[in-house]
Amino acid sequence: MAVKSHPAQIGTIAADGVRRITEIYVNGAWAASSGKEVVEVVNPSNGKVIATVPAGTQADVDRAAGAARSAFASWSQSDVKKRAEILRAISEGINARGEEIAAAAASDIGTPVKTGRYMHVKLPASTFANMADNIEKFQFETRDGALAIVREPVGVVGCITPWNYPLHQISAKIAPAIAAGCTVVVKPSEVAPLSAYILAEIIDAAGLPAGVFNMISGLGPVVGEAIASHKDVDMVSFTGSVRAGTRVAALAAPDVKRVTLELGGKSPNVVLDDVDDLPKVVTAAISNAFLNSGQTCSALTRLIVPREKLLEVEELARSAAEAQALGDPALDETALGPVVSEVQYKRVMGYIKRGVDEGAKLVTGGLDRPAGFKDGYFVAPTVFSSVAPDSTIAQEEIFGPVLVVIPYDTEEEAIEIANGTQYGLSGGVWSKDPARAERVARRLRTGQVKINGGAFNPIAPFGGYKHSGIGRELGPLGLDEYLETKALTY
What are the residue numbers of the active site?
262, 297
Nearest to 22 by CA among 291, 210, 222, 217: 217
Q: Please tell me what DSSP assigns to residue 264.
A: -
CB 443 within 8 A of CB 422: no
Burial class (CB in 10 A: 0-12, 13-18, 19+), 310: middle
Grouping H, G, I as helix, E, B as strand and the rest as coil, residue 403 is strand
- E strand spans, 129-182: 141-144, 147-153, 156-160
Rounded to 5°, the CA angle 181-185-190 comes to 145
d(CA 457, CA 330): 27
d(CA 490, CA 488): 7
CB 169 within 8 A of CB 125: no
Burial class (CB in 10 A: 0-12, 13-18, 19+), 193: buried
How many CA atoms are closer than 13 Å to the CA of 214, on its beta-carbon side?
Answer: 32
Nearest to 108 by CA among 37, 52, 173, 54: 52
What is the pairing mode between strands 23-26 and 258-262?
unpaired
Q: Strand 183-187: give its sheet, edge to edge.
A: 29-32, 23-26, 213-215, 183-187, 156-160, 235-239, 258-262, 469-470
> Measured on CA atoms in the order 74, 76, 77, 79, is the torsion positive or negative?
positive
Burial class (CB in 10 A: 0-12, 13-18, 19+), 397: buried
Chain Cα centroid distance, residue 318: 28
Angle between helices 310-322 and 278-290 (to 10 degrees): 50
d(CA 20, CA 18): 6
d(CA 189, CA 239): 10
Cα Rg of the chain (Å, integer)? 23
